């Protein structure tokens, strides 16, 4: 059986629950998914097993709360990737069209197609943060040439692939999750830029290859506000003078804190773009 345990609440509650579920069920191969559910956030746990009762007990132990507060549902065997793709229409973003394999033939003439299917890594192009990054990068390369780009927290590799297609230059792409790194590399090959996108598993910018290729004239990081703030000193060391960084995964309410952290490292805010409740920041290194 596959059990889906759903909880709807604030983003902070959802992130806390996601971390606890991930730690409690990691050994059994449990998959925890964090997603927006209307104005709220939802955490789902997909776990193979055959008894619902013990699962409820373990949830209580893991979360320190009554499992009756959660909606627990037994799901039939389903190809969830195929099901999720049915609702993912092609997404336009600047000159890009992000699409799944089922819409491979639907890319209009004059657009840059990027094929990304829903899977184990973040970044199908349907979230406002990814969409905002794509539109921002498309505008940036119209006014400036970049030849040493780095994508931090690459997820599916979408932004690295976009950069490779726009610039036709080598792109380094890192992620803390080795599964995401494998997916990103496969997606780069699928999109015809496998020879340009080099992927690696790294925490932040902590990889010898990233250090060896520095400084970068463009760094893209679509992650979360907390890690972005923590990475500000490393970003400053890795960015060349007058280098540009594009930051996303930031709620509008968090943008001022992220901007302040980077100003303290010698960056100046060039553009603050809002996409719904999310922000994309473009900063330049003024050292």
Q: Strand pairing of 197-201 and 267-275? A: unpaired
Provide the pLDDT for residue 165.
96
CB 133 within 8 A of CB 124: no
Q: Strand pairing of 239-251 and 278-285? A: antiparallel
Provide the pLDDT for residue 1.
45
Classify burial at 74, counting beta carbons within 10 Å of its beta carbon; exposed 0-12, middle 13-18, buried 19 or more: exposed
Provide the pLDDT for residue 233.
97
pLDDT beneath 50, residues of the chain? 1, 79-85, 87, 120-125
- State the greatest distance between any 2 C-alpha atoms of the chain, in Å, as a whole number: 60
Provide the pLDDT for residue 84.
45
Classify burial at 150, counting beta carbons within 10 Å of its beta carbon; exposed 0-12, middle 13-18, buried 19 or more: buried
Residue 3 to residues 23, 32, 122, Cα–Cα distance (Å): 17, 11, 22
Provide the pLDDT for residue 81.
43
* Percentage, residues of the chain above pLDDT 90: 49
Provide the pLDDT for residue 21.
77
| Rounded Cα distance, 153 and 160, in Å | 10
| Rounded Cα distance, 171 and 21, in Å | 34
Minimal CA–CA distance to 117: which of 126, 129, 107, 108?
Answer: 126
Provide the pLDDT for residue 72.
67
Tokens encoding 42? 């939802």
CB 283 within 8 A of CB 268: yes
Classify 279 as helix, strand or coil.
Answer: strand
Provide the pLDDT for residue 241.
95
Provide the pLDDT for residue 203.
92
Provide the pLDDT for residue 120.
42
Chain mean position to CA 17: 19
Instruction: Give me the helices (H) in the chain, please.
Output: 11-25, 52-63, 80-86, 128-143, 158-167, 178-190, 208-213, 225-230, 232-238, 255-263
Provide the pLDDT for residue 234.
97
Residue at token pair 């773009």: 273
CB 246 within 8 A of CB 217: no
| Rounded Cα distance, 4 and 264, in Å | 44
Classify burial at 49, counting beta carbons within 10 Å of its beta carbon; exposed 0-12, middle 13-18, buried 19 or more: middle
| Rounded Cα distance, 254 and 179, in Å | 29
Provide the pLDDT for residue 94.
85
């Amino acid at each position: 059986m596959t059990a889906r345990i759903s909880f709807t609440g604030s983003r902070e509650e959802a992130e806390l629950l996601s971390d606890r579920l991930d730690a409690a069920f990691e050994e059994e191969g449990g998959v925890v998914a964090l997603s927006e559910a209307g104005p709220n956030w939802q955490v789902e746990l997909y776990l193979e097993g055959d008894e619902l009762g013990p699962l409820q007990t373990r949830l209580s132990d893991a979360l320190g709360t009554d499992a009756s507060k959660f909606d627990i549902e037994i799901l039939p065997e389903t190809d969830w990737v195929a099901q999720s793709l049915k609702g993912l229409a092609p997404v336009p973003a600047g000159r890009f069209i992000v699409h799944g394999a089922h819409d491979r033939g639907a890319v209009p003439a004059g657009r840059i197609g990027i094929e990304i299917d829903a899977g184990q890594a973040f970044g199908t192009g349907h979230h406002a943060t990814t969409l905002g990054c794509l539109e921002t990068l498309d505008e940036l390369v119209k006014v400036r040439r970049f030849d040493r780009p780095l994508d931090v927290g690459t997820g599916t590799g979408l932004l690295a692939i976009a950069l490779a297609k726009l610039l036709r230059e080598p792109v380094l792409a890192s992620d803390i999750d080795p599964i995401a790194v494998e997916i990103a590399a496969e997606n780069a090959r699928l999109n015809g830029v496998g020879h340009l996108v080099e992927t690696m598993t790294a925490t932040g910018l902590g990889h010898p290859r990233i250090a060896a290729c520095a400084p970068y004239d463009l760094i893209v990081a679509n992650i979360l506000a907390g890690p972005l703030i923590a990475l500000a000193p490393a970003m400053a060391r890795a960015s060349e003078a007058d280098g540009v960084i594009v930051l996303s995964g930031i709620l509008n309410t968090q943008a001022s804190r992220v901007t302040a952290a980077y100003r303290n490292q010698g960056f100046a805010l060039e553009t603050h773009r809002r996409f719904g409740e999310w922000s994309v920041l473009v900063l330049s290194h003024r050292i």
